[in-house]
Structure 1
Amino acid sequence: MRLYGVRIACCPLFTPPLPMTLDLTGIQTKAALHQLFKEKLGFEDWYGPSWDAFWDSIVAIVEMPQELVLTNWEEFARCCPRDMAILRQVIEDYEQEMRPKRIVLG
Structure 2
Amino acid sequence: MVTGHMPQWVPGRVREELHQAAVDVASVASEDELHRLLQREFDFPDFYGRNWAAFWDVVSGLVFIREHVRFVGWKSLAEHVADGAMMLTDCLDRYRDRYRPGLRVEYR
Give the TM-score range, shorter chain: 0.7 to 0.9
Aligned to 1:45: 46
TM-score by length of 2: 0.78
1:1-106 matches, cutoff 5 A: 12-15=3-6, 17-97=18-98, 98-106=100-108
Tell me how many residue pairs correspond in the alignment: 97
| Partner SS state of residue 36, structure 2 | helix
The structure with the largest helix share of the pair is 1
**Does the 8 A contact of 1:94 with 1:103 survive in 2?**
no
For residues 27 and 56 of structure 2, the distance between their equivalents in structure 1, rounded to whole angstroms, comes to 23
For residues 45 and 82 of structure 1, the distance between their equivalents in structure 2, rounded to whole angstroms, comes to 24
For residues 45 and 60 of structure 1, the distance between their equivalents in structure 2, rounded to whole angstroms, comes to 15
**Does the 8 A contact of 1:15 with 1:66 survive in 2?**
no
Runs of 4+ aligned structure 1 residues displaced above 6 Å come to none
- RMSD (Å), alpha carbons: 1.9
| Partner SS state of residue 62, structure 1 | coil
> Relative contact order, CA 8 A, sep 6+: which one is greater?
1
* Matched-pair identity in %: 21
TM-score by length of 1: 0.79
User: For structure 2, which runs of at least 5 residues remain unmatched after alignment?
Assistant: 8-17
User: For structure 1, which runs of at least 5 residues remain unmatched after alignment?
Assistant: 1-10
Range with greater deviation from structure 2 (92-101 or 56-65): 92-101
Aligned to 1:3: none
